[in-house]
Structures are given as C-alpha cells and as structure tokens.
Amino acid sequence: MSDLLAFDNVWLEYGDKIVLERVDLTIAERSFVSIVGPSGAGKSSFLRLVLGQEAPSRGRILLDGKQLAAECGPDRGVVFQRYSVFPHLTVLRNVMFARECAAARLTARLFGAARRRAAEEAEAMLAEVGLDDSLHLFPAQLSGGMQQRLAIAQALIARPRVLLLDEPFGALDPGIRQDMHRLILRLWDEHALTVLMVTHDITEAFKLGTRVLAFDKRRIDPHAPHRFGATAVYDLMLKNKLPLETPEASVTSITIDRFRNNNQE
Amino acid sequence: MRWVNVRPNRRSATALGAVPLLLALIAYLFASAARHAANASDKVLPTPAAMVAAMRSLLLDADPLSGQVIFWADTAASLERLGLGLGICTLSALLVGMVLGVLPAARSTFGAFVTTIAVIPPIALLPILFIVFGLGETAKVALIVIGITPFMIRDIADHVASLPQEQLIKAQTLGASSWQLALRVALPQALPRLISGLRLSLGPAWVYLISAEAIASDVGLGYRIFLVRRYLSMDIIIPYVAWISILAIAMDFALKQLSRRAFVWAHQSHR
C-alpha cells in the first residue's frame, strides 16, 4: 500500500497558543483511520488541516506527494455532523451539484442530455446509500440518518481521494448508527476509499478503523497549558476490528457498571 | 386547563382575530353617532354615509381640471412611486448584499460604510434630495430607495454571511468556484430572506412615500390627505387611510404567498 497522505513535522499555532505540535504521520491508501481523543485535543483542527480550511503554521502536508493547497478542493470530500447538505435543493439536486459545478463553469447548471446523464449517475449513487425513493424530497423532510446518507452520497459522487468524516454519526440514534456503520464500511470497500474519521465514540473507532490515532497532549505545563500542543500519542494498526454488533458502551446504562448492579431482576 | 395551553383552531382563530376589528368599528360608529347627536354638522368623526357621499365624486367623476378620476389617479401615482422605489431597493439590496455576504474582503471594505449610511435618518436627507433631484418624481422615489436599501443590504449580507460554514466548505469540496458558490448556494438561500426583508420594509416605504408626497406633489394618496386636511375633511381622510391600509395588507399577503410558492423548502418545519 502506498502512502496517500504524509504529515511532515506539522504544527498549528494561533498566536502563542499551540494546538498541534510535531505531527509526523503517513496515511496509506485504502486505510480507514479513526481519530479519537478528549475534547480540545486538536482532532477537529487536524481534520481542518487536511481539508485545507486552515494552513499549518509549520511543516508540510503532502497529498499524493504534492503539497496541499490551503483551500478546500474536490480531491477531499467531507461529511460534517450537521449542515453539510444544501437545504434549498432536493435530494437528487444535492447529489448532482458536484457534476454541475464541474461541467458548467458559468451557470453551474446542466441541460438536456448532460443533465439526464448527471441525474442518472446521481440516482445510482443515491440507490447505493438507500435513498432512491426520496429523490425529490428536501433535506428538511429527511430524518437525521437520511440526511447523513445524503451527505455521504453527495461527497462520494465527486470521487474524492480522501473522505473526511467529522463525527458524522454523533447526532444519530444508536440503532441508526449501526446501519450507518454498515453502510460506510460497504462504501469504503466498494469505492476503495481512504477515510479519516474523527469520533468521540471509542467503540465506533475500533469497529470501523483499520488504524486508530489517539490525539492528546504529551506534556502539560500547569502554568501555561496552551504552550504545549497535541499530537498523535497512540497510533494503533488494527488487525481485527471489533464486530459491528458490539453494543455501544452507553446503550445499556449511562454509568460504568461492570458488575451489573443495575440489572436487578 | 391552563391558559397557556388554550390554542384556538384555524376557524376560531380567524373569528377571534376579527373581534378587535369589529369592536373598533362599533366604537367608532357609537362615538360618531354621539357627536352628531350633539352637533349635526360635526366634521371630526364623520358618519359612514357622509364618507360615502364625500368619496362618491372622487371615485366616479373626472376632475374638470385634469380630466382624471382623482381617487384612481392618486392611487396609480402612489403605487408607481412605491413600486419603482421598492424595485430599485430590492435589486440593489440583492446585488450589494450578496457581494458583502459572500466575500469577506468586500465586507471588511464596505460593511462600516453601509452601516454609517444606514444610521442617517432618511427624512433628514429629503431637503437634499429635493435640491439635487428637483421636486419631481425622482426625489420621491429616491427617498424610498435611500430609506430602505441600507436596511435590506445589511439584512441580506448578514443572512448570507451566517450561512453555516459547513455548507460553504462542502460546496468547495464539491468543486464549486466563488461564482458557483454565490450562484448556487448563497443566492437561492438569500431570496426568501429578501422577500421577508421586503415585507418588513413595506411599512417604512409607505412612511417615506407619504412624507415625500405631503411636502411637494400634485397627485398621490399622501398629497390628497394633506391637501384636504386644510378643510378638516375627515370624510375623505379616513377612507384614504383605510385604502392605504388595504393596499399595504394586500402587498404583504402577495409577497408572503409568492415566497411560499417559490421557496417551498424555506417554509417547511425543520427537524
């Protein structure tokens, strides 16, 4: 497997606040990288760097051996926890958007045969995520899980080199979340994707990932906590994933209850 | 049941809404009757019959000087000024608001300027407009434009600038250029806001129109009201004011319906 993404001594600083320090990583093509860590450990900042929303203050990020431009581009697709579909477009038009932007520079709209082709392609993509009977609904008419399916289909039709997921399933119900896990693994396999997923849910990280990165600060100066940045403190390559059916830690109880004290029947 | 949980259904809501209107009407009729009982030639609270009589000639007979039916000539003149003013406002607010909302650099450059213009009371500019544009139609339309455009520009610019960052990022990862982003993501979401901004601006627009007509004009609804005030003709002023209200309500309703029909997605309840 060749390296798709490489981080070469990457730092991210705001003034004298250091968010990320000395991030040295390579990410292989076709891998599914879960990124976990406590709040404020720079997980989302890391994703923003890959996305091009921000530029590293030091170091380089290479995609396919070329330095990454500090601007979002169609080589990187993204699904956020919320707000990543267009509320004013129907499901079908949401997915056609990437094709329309690529084919019509000026109007960003397609007509006639080109439009039919784009629509057919979008319909096929929507069928893959199970939204083929909701083509003409608006996102506000969809449930949370369906909106995330739509966001995934919309991103995949642009054929990104890397798919970035920022807590994509965080706002969903546990049952829906399991369906989404199955879906994303299937798409990862069928489309030969490289995925970077930020999550709060450790179980999810180990169910889906082929590799788990844990971000945290290596050192903390109690007098100046902002002077040390976070980095990937654990980097685990997984041979065996957790089975998809593994119940979530929070499903049966909100307390950590190893001795089943709460289930008195 | 608690009072906070008493929710009228559609039909009873309509009926309840009509009650205050009817009460006001009845109160007026009683007050008018009482005044006329004391003084048969009272002019302050004319009876409905007096209003009909006074309006009849304005509505039906051509004015011997101009050859036009005064009421309809007034209405046409006022609506033309209002329509021109609002049209210019809407187009320029959409254009400038979009540029300010989409481009942070434009916002930094012109945002403070627009805010400064917006705090100038438009009526205070009316003398300047009369000096610059003369006493004709241009000054009246210009007052409406100057009075409303800054508010609408700021409304559109704020709305576009506060679209979720995630949407803009997503569009860029789907290959959209700045132009495509503005055209396909920002513009469609600005349009329903433009209509609601226009609806909110209708009130001030009427104020500016009637002020301008009151000061220098020879035809128009505002001009007529201020003209007949000299003769204490409440029997003309009251029907004119009622007519202006009806026109304002009709315009508001039409804009609301337009928005509902054209932007279905904006009027669905969000989960």
Question: Are both A169 and A265 inside the same structural domain?
Answer: yes
Confirm if A138 and B263 have CB atoms less than 8 A apart.
no
Pick from A159, A177, A196: which residue ends a domain?
A159
Residues of chain A in contact with residue B188, where contact means CB-CB under 8 angstroms, are 88-89
Between A and B, how many residue pairs show a Cβ–Cβ distance under 8 A? 92
pLDDT of amino acid B158: 94
pLDDT of amino acid A248: 64
Instruction: Answer yes or no: is pLDDT of B81 > 90.
Output: yes
Residues of chain A in contact with residue B166, where contact means CB-CB under 8 angstroms, are 80, 82-84
Nearest CA of chain A to the CA of B186: how many Å? 10
Domains of chain B: 8-45 (no CATH), 61-267 (1.10.3720.10)
Does A209 map to a domain?
Answer: yes
Question: Are both A144 and A168 inside the same structural domain?
Answer: no
Instruction: Answer yes or no: is pLDDT of B256 > 90.
Output: yes
pLDDT of amino acid A259: 54
Instruction: Answer yes or no: is pLDDT of B18 > 90.
Output: yes
Angle formed at CA A80 by CA A77 and CA A86, multiple of 5 degrees: 85
CATH of residue A23: 3.40.50.300
Alpha helices in chain A (DSSP H): 43-51, 91-103, 112-128, 144-156, 174-190, 202-208
Placement of tokens 């250091």 in the chain? A18
pLDDT of amino acid A251: 46
Nearest CA of chain A to the CA of B262: how many Å? 11
Answer yes or no: do B170 and A80 touch at CB < 8 A.
yes
Instruction: Answer yes or no: is pLDDT of B24 > 50.
Output: yes
Residue in chain B lying closest to A103 (CA) = B175
Question: Are both A121 and A221 inside the same structural domain?
Answer: no
Instruction: Answer yes or no: is pLDDT of A92 > 50.
Output: yes
Confirm if B148 and B85 have CB atoms less than 8 A apart.
yes
Chain B interface disruption, residue of A44, A72, A161, most B CBs within 10 A: A72
Residues of chain B in contact with residue A155, where contact means CB-CB under 8 angstroms, are 170, 173-174
pTM greater than the 0.80 cutoff: yes
Average pLDDT of B211-240?
Answer: 92
Question: Are both A65 and A111 inside the same structural domain?
Answer: no
The band of A265, judged by pLDDT with boundaries at 50, 70 and 90, is very low
Short-list A257, A252, A259, A214, CA closest to A234: A214
Average pLDDT of A20-28?
Answer: 87
Question: Are both A152 and A197 inside the same structural domain?
Answer: no
pLDDT of amino acid A261: 54
Does A127 map to a domain?
Answer: yes
Instruction: Answer yes or no: is pLDDT of A250 > 70.
Output: no
Average pLDDT of B4-17?
Answer: 91
pLDDT of amino acid A253: 46
Does A165 map to a domain?
Answer: yes
Which of A89, A101, A140 comes nearest B175 by C-beta? A101
Instruction: Answer yes or no: is pLDDT of B8 > 80.
Output: yes
Amino acid occupying residue B217: S
**Mean of per-residue pLDDT scores for chain A:** 85
pLDDT tens column, B153-185: 999 999 999 999 999 999 999 999 999 999 999
Residue B188 corresponds to which tokens in the numbers above? 């469609």
Question: Are both A224 and A210 inside the same structural domain?
Answer: yes
Instruction: Answer yes or no: is pLDDT of B142 > 90.
Output: yes
pLDDT of amino acid B183: 93
Average pLDDT of A34-56?
Answer: 87
Confirm if A40 and A216 have CB atoms less than 8 A apart.
no
pLDDT tens column, A118-168: 999 999 999 988 888 889 999 999 988 899 999 999 999 988 989 999 999
pLDDT of amino acid A249: 57
pLDDT tens column, B25-68: 999 999 999 999 999 888 899 999 999 999 998 888 888 888 88
Residue B38 corresponds to which tokens in the numbers above? 């004391």
Average pLDDT of A2-24?
Answer: 85
pLDDT of amino acid B269: 61
Parent domain of A111: 87-159
Residues of chain B in contact with residue A86, where contact means CB-CB under 8 angstroms, are 167, 170-171, 185
Q: Are strands A32-36 and A195-198 parallel, antiparallel or unpaired?
A: parallel
Chain A window 150-179: which residues touch B at a Cβ cutoff of 8 Å? 151, 154-155, 158, 160
pLDDT of amino acid A260: 56
Question: Are both A177 and A142 inside the same structural domain?
Answer: no
Residue B106 corresponds to which tokens in the numbers above? 């434009």
Q: How many of the other CB atoms lie within 10 Å of CB of A14? A: 11
**How far, in Å, CA of A132 to CA of A119, rounded?**
12
